[in-house]
Chain A
Amino acid sequence: MSVGIHAFGGYVPIQRLQRKAIADANAWFNPGLRGLGKGERSICNWDEDSVTMAVEAAREALGGTGVDGIDAVYFASTTLPFQDRQNAGIIAEALHLGSDLLTMDIAGSQRAGTTALTAALKAATGGDRVVVAGGEKRRTKSASPMELTAGDGAGAVVVAEGDGAAKLLGRATHAVDFVDHYRGQDEAFDYVWEERWIRDEGYLKIIPIAIAAALEAAGVTAADITHFCLPLAAARVAGMIAKKCGLSDESVRDNLQGKLGEAGSAQPLIMLVHALEDAKPGDKILVTGFGQGCDALIFEATDAINDAKPANGISGHLARRREETNYNRFLGVNNLVTMEQGLRSEVDKQTGLTTLYRNKEMLLSLIGGKCSECGTLQYPKTNVCANPNCGAVNSQEDQPFSEMPAKLNSFTADSLTFSPDPPAFYGMVQFEDGGRSMLDVTDVDPAVGLEVGQPLRMVFRIKEFDTKRGFRRYFWKATPVTELGTTQEGA
């Protein structure tokens, strides 16, 4: 029985930090950074992390939250928000996939994304339908080359039995403890060895071995490959490897370095999703993941590919962008400089774990209520119906709100309340089929602002950081609906 990718989706945060701003700020110290100071990289809003981005990518792949028939969620990242609290479990809860699930985090290497994909494909041969999501938000030192080359983003695929939109032809892994960089326990930043050694002894020697093995397993020749995904930031390496392996020059895909940057272990999934968006039936896609060896997987797009294109995908998200030129803001919201946040920021943000658990469907899955007597939707779900003309008791059934379109009833931009990136936008969010709630609004272009009646959609985000205890609280926020291909200017 064949296995394949049945659905896919991607996510890129809307803000793009202009690399020139990074280079201009730091060239006094390292003039060499100017060479990397071109193009732009995606950056998370302050309320995004690898988990929230993975939720967005997986939502797109699944066509929404609350879908049936998923057996497992594998989450790949080397920037997991929690070291001990399963991050895949948070994603599964946000996606409202129920509890009859195998959830796991796959981490520890830049190969985590392709390893998760490999493991999921193996599970699919046993009949599992698996969501594989990769999300990465790498923390980088100011003035490091990686600060310029990294980017934030997520990709997700649903793999299962059957050919799907892209059938697995073959795969291979070449595992070797090649340490080009590492991050020890309790270390905030990566420690990186010399680029030339990484290229010559690492990329150029290890990756071709895995590719050759995958080609053999797939029973195809290098010349048959139409899309070659090499998720490395390094310039020209993909061409060198293609040449070495006999892959055509045309098959080498854009590593998205100019628009997004390199999103660590999520980059293979991001590039795979991007390739699937472009793929025609019969196209053969080779995706690799490098880190302590190399994974290589080869897929063939089927006739189903044409109907499997996601609403936005990576290309849609790349076209939906807002330029950011304020490097200081990037440093500030990522705690890379010590900022005076004011006394208002000192309020204790402890989360009662009992409260969270008791209300987890309300908080993590955005489940409200629908009155079985009058049909009124309400959030949160309460014992007594909110409809003043009803008031039925214990009448409410679960009502998901995360996929429901909403509009803005009233709003403000608040400069008084503490926010890591003021002003804080929030307002009365009114759902299309009924129900409303006063909620935070995120990803608002400050140059554009908000207006009453504008359409909104819900996104899973970080609500608060409890810096005292290392906890972060997740919840849903509203965000302006941005048309595909819209470019927000200024800010």
Chain B
Amino acid sequence: MASGIKDKVAILGMGCSKFGERWNDNAEDLMLEAFTEALEDAGIEKGQIDAAWFATAIEEQHVGKSGIPLAMALRLPYIPVTRVENYCASGSEAFRGAVYAVASGAADIALAVGVEKLKDTGYGGLPQRSRGALNDQFWSNNSAPGSFAQLASAYQAKHNVSRDDLKRAMAHISVKSHANGAKNPKAHLQKAIDEDRVMNAPMIAEPLGLFDCCGVSDGSACAIVTTPEIAKSLGKTDLITVKALQLSVSNGTEAQHNSWDGSYFMTTRVAAGKAYEEAGIKNAREEVSLVEVHDCFSVTELVTMEDLQLSPEGGAITDIMDGFYDADGQVPCQIDGGLKCFGHPIGASGLRMLYEMYLQMQGRAGPRQREDNPVFGVTHNLGGFPHQNVCAVCVVGQDGA
């Protein structure tokens, strides 16, 4: 078996733009904002970067195709730039490229940048677009909320849960993320809400109401990675290293074979199992300190708690209602507000999750800083639909942990 990525690569610097409705900024402005912070944090010169990976998913809404928009926005010195797209998990894909480049020895220092400029469509929600010439002719007329909403009906049927109990747990998730987002000056949504507001919000896709859906934002996030040795030679201490990087991609079993019941993510279970093995985590519920998941919708977060082995199968509702995932709970989930409130500029989201882990592990998270010292952080970045998706699970942690 492969030896894995554990402790082969360290994060040298990170940056993240303010997320939100950035009416007066282009994608290039957002990239530079994130990159400037990361470069300063890393304490290096731009010329020391050997290669870059650039993530964006709906490029036709902003920068267009290829790696050129990143190279031009940052005036990178004619280094390799690879543009990656893997639905909403694109940011994690850029990180994976940069980390693998460093681990292989092909690059000493590599850059991963994700960006999305979603607020130029003229309407709320994700841009409506073609899903492919043949797919358009037979796929259901599904939106993102409508696809993920179906987790709820299948979860209710499988675990014999009433709509009301499930809806209330989903509301708790959103209330918690809003409370967390209120402590994050870079978050898109910084206002606390109560459960009644969630429960009574307009319906988007049954049973998901407005507050069950994450923000659609403009923003960019960025990571600079290198080897632990180079990081130390640059004067860095208390390194945050990559413990695991896993990606699982649906092959059509969920969409076409009746073995999947629709209530969970096959990909997440596969990626999480492999990631914990790669990171040497035996009991996720006990060992993981922090988790940032792809809470595009409240119900996604709910079932993902089980898929990541944090809650037992069918036990997420109990844990959620017990506050297990609250900011002061045992395993805080979305302590930065998550996609729900920090926002979801697609290409940036996977890197934004890592940004929060990086801040928390260094004690730099400001008013939302965990008191104890996070050791292992798990990020979960999902793209697509429950019945066909890509899922990236990444574990980062204190060097030597």
Contacts and interface: CB of A to CB of B under 8 A. Distances in A.
Interface string A343-382: 1101111011001100100110000000000001011101
Interface string A387-405: 1100000000000000000
Contacts of B258: 430, 434-436
B204 A415 contact: yes
A344 B146 contact: no
Nearest to B204: A416
B154 to A, nearest CB: 4
A343 B140 contact: no
B203 to A, nearest CB: 6
B153 interface: yes
B3 interface: no
Contacts, number: 143
B157 interface: yes
Interface string A49-86: 00000000000000000000000000000000000000
Contacts of B154: 409-410, 428, 452
A344 B156 CA distance: 31
A170 B115 CA distance: 76
B257 A387 contact: yes
A190 interface: no
Contacts of B139: 438
A473 interface: yes
Contacts of A362: 138
B252 interface: yes
A368 B144 CA distance: 26
A437 B255 contact: yes
Interface string A305-334: 000000000000000000000000000000
B256 A417 contact: no
Contacts of A463: 137-138
A414 interface: yes
B137 A356 contact: yes
Contacts of A346: 128
A424 B129 contact: no
Nearest to B139: A438
Contact of B137 (A363, A413, A439): A363
Nearest to B213: A416
A465 to B, nearest CB: 12
Given A413-B205, A416-B143, A438 B128 contact: no
Contact of B146 (A417, A449, A452): A417
A487 interface: no
Contacts of B262: 409-410, 428
Contacts of A424: 141, 146
A344 B128 contact: yes
B145 A414 contact: yes
A359 B123 contact: no
Contacts of B261: 409
B217 to A, nearest CB: 17
A271 interface: no
Contact of A414 (B121, B146, B156): B146
Contacts of B268: none
Interface in B239-266: 252-253, 255-259, 261-263
Nearest to A451: B153
A473 B130 contact: no
Contacts of A435: 256, 258
Nearest to A418: B128
Nearest to A379: B256
B153 A410 contact: yes
Contact of B138 (A380, A388, A419): A380
A106 to B, nearest CB: 29
B387 A419 contact: no
Interface of A: 342-344, 346-349, 351-352, 355-356, 359, 362-363, 376, 378-380, 382, 386-388, 409-419, 423-424, 426-428, 430, 434-440, 449, 451-453, 463-464, 473, 475
6 contacts: A363-B137, A376-B257, A415-B202, A426-B141, A427-B153, A440-B140
The 3 A-B residue pairs with the shortest CB-CB distance, nearest first, are A414-B146, A426-B140, A410-B150
